[in-house]
């Protein structure tokens, strides 16, 4: 899934991408992210987090670039309709 996420990051300037390799979950910079968002789900685990740090969407398994873009679009639409 790494190539899809790298493309997503490079083509979606309003989105910040961070990943945690499960083999490196105990490294200081990864530990807080892992403990905040990984609640025993399977891997790969993708979490869409809003600017306030709230997990808005979580899913396990592979997501393609078009699927990632669609998820962001849905969240943006929901956000604009609630204003």
14-32 residue pLDDT tens:
777 676 677 777 887 777 7
Cβ neighbours around 80 below 10 Å, total: 8
Which residue, among 74, 81, 78, has the nearest Cα to 59 in the 3D structure? 74
**pLDDT value for 41:** 61
- Give the pLDDT of residue 45: 75
- Whether the pLDDT of residue 6 is over 70: the answer is yes
Please spell the DSSP secondary structure of 46-80, one letter per residue: EEEE-TTS-EEEEEES---HHHHHHHHHHHHHHHH
**pTM score of the predicted model:** 0.60
77 pLDDT more than 60 = yes
Task: Give the single-character DSSP code of 61.
Answer: S
Residues 48-76: tens digit of each pLDDT? 777 787 877 877 788 888 988 888 888 77
């Amino acid at each position: 899934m790494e190539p899809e996420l790298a493309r997503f990051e490079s083509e979606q300037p309003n989105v910040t991408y961070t990943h945690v390799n499960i083999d490196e979950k105990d490294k200081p910079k990864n530990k807080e992210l892992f403990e905040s968002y990984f609640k025993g789900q399977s891997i790969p685990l993708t979490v869409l987090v809003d600017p306030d740090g709230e997990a808005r969407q979580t899913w396990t398994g592979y997501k393609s670039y078009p699927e990632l873009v669609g998820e962001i679009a849905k969240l943006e639409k929901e956000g604009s309709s609630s204003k």
